[in-house]
Amino acid sequence: MGSGSSRAPSSPDPEEPAVATHCPYCALQCGTRLQPGAPPGPPPPSAVPAAPAAEPAPPLRVEPDADFPVNQGGLCHKGWTAPAVLRAPDRLRTPLVRDRAGGHAPASWDTALHTVASRLAEIRAAHGPDSVAVFGGGGLTNEKAYLLGKFARVALGTRMIDYNGRFCMSSAAAAGVAAFGLDRGLPFPVTDLAEADTVLLAGANPAETMPPLMRHLNKAGALVVIDPRRTPTAERAALHLAPAPGTDLALALGLLHIAVTEGRHDEEYVRTRSVGFRAAWRRAAGWWPERVELLTGVPASAQREAVRLLSEARRAYVLTGRGAEQHSKGTDTVAAFVNFALALGLPGRPGSGYGCLTGQGNGQGGREHGQKADQLPGYRHITDPGARAHVAGVWGVDPDSLPGPGLSAAELLGALGTDGGPRALLVFGSNPVVSAPDAERVQRRLAELDLLVVADFVPSETATMADVVLPVTQWAEEEGTLTNLEGRVLRRRRALAPPPGVRGDLAVLRELAVRLGEPADRFPDDPRRVFDELRRASHGGTADYGGISYERLDAGEALHWPCPATPDGTPPHPGTPRLFLDRFAHPDGKARFQNVDHREPADARDDRFPLWATTGRQLAHYQSGAQTRRVPELVRAAPETTVEIHPDTAARAGLAEGELARVRSARGAVLARVRLVATLRTDTVFLPFHFPGHGRANLLTGTALDPRSRMPEFKVSAVSVEPVGSEEPVGRPERVPEAAAVRGAAG
C-alpha cells in the first residue's frame, strides 16, 4: 500500500473519546487516533482479501491524525492493522519459567522476579558485574530506554549494555557527530522535503519502509535514488543509479569529484562554513566518473546528471538510509555523502540539508538516553568525567561507581557464554535470534548462557529460548514519550488497559532493582516521574530535553530537541526544529569534511559464492517480524521468505518462479521462495529479514563490523543460489529449531 492509502473517517463514539497517540512501528511515528472498544473499520485498499470473520476483532479502531504534519492523514498497511497485534492469539499473559523438562511453566510474578533476581545475584557474585548483560531495543519509549540504562549501570553495575539500534543508524550517527558535532536523524522537519527541487536518496526505500513519507517526497521536484534494486521508490524517481552492492562509497566519491571538477560546488560555503575540504578532495580526485563506472556499474552520464540535478536546485537534500550504512565501511560511506552535501553547500542552508532516515520507532531517543554501550543520558559520552559527575548526581550515586564503556551489540552477542564473557542476558524489546548478523552463531551463544531473561508481549524466537519470560505491555496500553526521526518528542498515550497479569517494563525494572538491593525511590515506575528525571539527566547535554514536559507536549506544542530548561520567569525554550542554520555543533561552529576512501567489503565473490546478497524490509512487515507476523492480513500479503533474482541468473541456477531455493554463504544457508525480478542486477539477489527458522536472512550475514560505529555488514554477503530437491519449511512462524532441547537443563 502506498502513502496515499486512506479511509473515510468514521464517527467516534461520544462515550469513548478517541485517544491521540502514534503508530508503534517506524521512526515517522505517524499520528493516529484510537477509538477504544470500537469494531474495526473497513480494510485498507489493497489486493489482500478481507480477513475471515473468525479472526478476533481488534480492541481498537485506528484512524490517522490528519493534523499531524508527518503523515497528514496517511498510514501504511502496518499502521492500519496495528491494533490486531494487541490480540495476538499467543499473547503472553503470565510469566513463564523453564522447568527441568525443558518446557515453560506458568509462574507468579513473585516467583519469576525472585528467580531472575536470585540468579543474577549468584552470577554476579561468582563472576563479577560484567558477567551480566542487558540488550535493549529501538522501539522502547524514552522512559524505558533511560531506566534500562540506569538499571544496568546502577542496579547491576555492568558495562555490558547495548541495543538493536546499533544495527539501525549507528553509522550515520558516527558520521553525523564527526561532520556536524551532533547526531539527529533529520536536522529539519519532514515537511521541508515537500518544498525541495531535488532530493537524493542513498540506500533508502521509503515507499515500502515509510510509505507516508512519500506524501512529502512526491511533492518535491526531482527524486534521485541510489539503490542496487529498482525498488518502488526507485520506480518513482527521475533518476535511478544502481551500483553494485558494496560500492556506494566509491559512487559518493565520484559525485564529489564531478561537483568539484565541473565547478558545481559552493566555494564560499566551503570556505566559510567548513574545514577539511582539501584532504577530502585529495581522496575524491582519484575517482573520476569512468573509474567509478567500472567499479559500480553506474554510467558516467548518470553520475553527472545526478550532480547537475542537485547543484542546480534552489532547494536540495541528500538523505541516506540503511543501504548506505549497513556495511563494514558504513560510517565512511555516509561521510562521503555528507562530504558531497557539504561541497554543494546544503547542510544548514534554509530549504536544503543532509539527513538520515532513522528506521526504528524510537531509534533516535533510544540511543540518546543510555542504551548504547558508550553513552549516558543526553547523548553524553560515558568516559567524560563531567558527564559522569552530572548523571551520577541525578542518580544519587558516586561517579566512580559507574562502569565504563562496554561492547557494541554484535560484539556483546558474540561474547555471550564464552570464557570471560557475560553469562546472563536480559533482553527488552528485541529479537536477536532473527535480527542479529550471523544468526546461527548468536543462537548458539544464547544457548550457552547460564540465564536468559526476555521481556516481551509475544513468544518471539528469542523468548522461546529464555529461562524466564516476562509479559509486558504494548504501545496502546502504556504512557510515555518517543522521539521521531526529525528529533520531535512525542507523547504515547494509553488507550486501553493491558490484559490481566501483564506489567509495564518500568515496573519490571523497579521490582528487579529493589530485589537486587536498590532503594525503591531510585527506580520510579511512573512514566512522568521517569521523564522528569530524564530531563534533569539530559540537562546541558547534546540531546537536551530539559525544557520538555508532559504538560507542554499534552498542550500540543511541537518540541524538537535541543530544548533546554529556562530560568523561572522567562519564556520556555521553543525547541529547535532546524539545526545548523547559524553554526554547526563543533566549537568553531564549522562542519568537518571527512577524509575517506573506498575499500572492498569483508566478503569476496568467488567460484563458490558468485553472487551478492543484500537484505532489507518489505512493505507488509517490520524488523524481525515478531509483531507483523502475528497479523493475519499482513501474513497473507507476505507469508514467507522470498529471494528476488534476475531471470537470467535464475535460469543459470536452474530455478523458476515460485520454486524453493537454497541461498548459501560461508556462514549458513537460507530457504526461500524464488521471485523473478527483471529489473534486478544479474549479480545480486535480495532477501527480506523478517522471517524465522530456515528463512532467516541473517543466517547469511557475517560478523565484520564498521571500525567506528560497530555496525555489522548486513547489506553485502557473497552467496550461491541452488534448487532444493524437496519441499522444506520456509521462514514461517515456528519455534527456533532445537532451542528447547539445547536449553532443557537450564532454569
What integer pLDDT is reported at residue 738 of this predicted model?
Answer: 34
Indicate the DSSP class of residue 472.
B
3-class SS string, 13-59: CCCCCCEEEECCCCCCCCEEEEEECCCCCCCCCCCCCCCCCCCCCCC
Note whether 328 and 397 are same-domain residues.
Answer: no
How do residues 664-673 score in pLDDT, each as one tens digit?
A: 999 999 999 9
Instruction: Give 477's contacts (C-beta < 8 A, 6+ positions apart).
Output: 86, 494, 495, 496, 497, 498, 502
CA–CA separation, 697 and 463 (whole Å): 19
**Run of H or E residues at 682:** none
Q: Is the pLDDT of residue 685 over 70?
A: yes
Note whether 475 and 428 are same-domain residues.
Answer: yes
In 3D space, the residue among 385, 372, 427, 399 whose CA is nearest the CA of residue 183 turns out to be 372
Range of the domain at 54: 19-85
CA–CA separation, 114 and 125 (whole Å): 16
Domain of residue 665, CATH code: 2.40.40.20
**Position 605 in a domain:** no
How do residues 470-482 score in pLDDT, each as one tens digit?
A: 999 999 999 999 9
Place of cell 568516559: 383
**Position 123 in a domain:** yes
**Position 386 in a domain:** yes
Note whether 150 and 176 are same-domain residues.
Answer: no
Note whether 352 and 477 are same-domain residues.
Answer: no
How do residues 90-149 score in pLDDT, each as one tens digit?
A: 999 999 999 988 899 999 999 999 999 999 999 999 999 999 999 999 999 999 999 999
What integer pLDDT is reported at residue 730 of this predicted model?
Answer: 54
**Position 731 in a domain:** no
Q: Is the pLDDT of residue 735 over 50?
A: no
3-class SS string, 46-110: CCCCCCCCCCCCCCEEEEECCCCCCCCCCCCHHHHHHHHHCCCCCCCCCCEEECCCCCEEECCHH
Note whether 520 and 636 are same-domain residues.
Answer: no
β 239-241/222-226 pair status: parallel
β 198-202/222-226 pair status: parallel
Could you tell me the three cell numbers for 392? 551520577
Could you tell me the three cell numbers for 321? 538510509
What integer pLDDT is reported at residue 52 of this predicted model?
Answer: 34
CA–CA separation, 682 and 295 (whole Å): 15
Domain of residue 76, CATH code: 2.20.25
What integer pLDDT is reported at residue 59 of this predicted model?
Answer: 79
- The vertex-418 CA angle with 368 and 470, nearest 5°, equals 55
**Domain ends where: 63, 85, 107?**
85
**Position 604 in a domain:** no
Indicate the DSSP class of residue 542.
S
Note whether 23 and 118 are same-domain residues.
Answer: no
**Domain ends where: 530, 554, 578?**
554
Note whether 350 and 229 are same-domain residues.
Answer: yes
Angle between helices 300-311 and 289-296 (to 10 degrees): 120
Is this structure's pTM higher than 0.85? yes
CA–CA separation, 85 and 594 (whole Å): 44
Average pLDDT, the chain: 92
**Position 742 in a domain:** no
Q: What are phi and psi of 712, to 5 degrees?
A: -70, 160
Note whether 316 and 380 are same-domain residues.
Answer: no
**Domain ends where: 308, 330, 357?**
357
What integer pLDDT is reported at residue 152 of this predicted model?
Answer: 98
Note whether 144 and 43 are same-domain residues.
Answer: no
Q: How many CB atoms lie within 10 A of CB 569?
A: 5
Domain of residue 318, CATH code: 3.40.228.10
Indicate the DSSP class of residue 155.
I
Instruction: Give 502's contacts (C-beta < 8 A, 6+ positions apart).
Output: 92, 93, 457, 471, 472, 473, 477
Q: What's the Cα-to-Cα distance from 466 to each of 96, 140, 456, 626, rounded to whole Å? A: 9, 20, 11, 16
What integer pLDDT is reported at residue 40 of this predicted model?
Answer: 40
With bands split at pLDDT 50, 70 and 90, how would you rate the model's confidence at 169? confident
How do residues 317-361 score in pLDDT, each as one tens digit?
A: 999 999 999 999 999 999 999 999 999 999 999 999 999 998 888
With bands split at pLDDT 50, 70 and 90, how would you rate the model's confidence at 58? low
In this prediction, residues 234-248 reach a mean pLDDT of 98
How do residues 197-221 score in pLDDT, each as one tens digit?
A: 999 999 999 999 999 999 999 999 9
Q: What's the Cα-to-Cα distance from 520 to each of 392, 396, 509, 512, 523, rounded to whole Å? A: 17, 13, 10, 10, 6
- The vertex-634 CA angle with 70 and 677, nearest 5°, equals 90
With bands split at pLDDT 50, 70 and 90, how would you rate the model's confidence at 43? very low
Note whether 466 and 407 are same-domain residues.
Answer: yes
Q: What are phi and psi of 399, to 5 degrees?
A: -55, -35
Domain of residue 495, CATH code: 3.40.50.740
Note whether 318 and 367 are same-domain residues.
Answer: no
CA–CA separation, 48 and 68 (whole Å): 28
Note whether 619 and 476 are same-domain residues.
Answer: no
Q: Is the pLDDT of residue 737 over 80?
A: no
Q: How many domains does the chain have?
A: 4
In this prediction, residues 487-507 reach a mean pLDDT of 96
SS3 490: strand
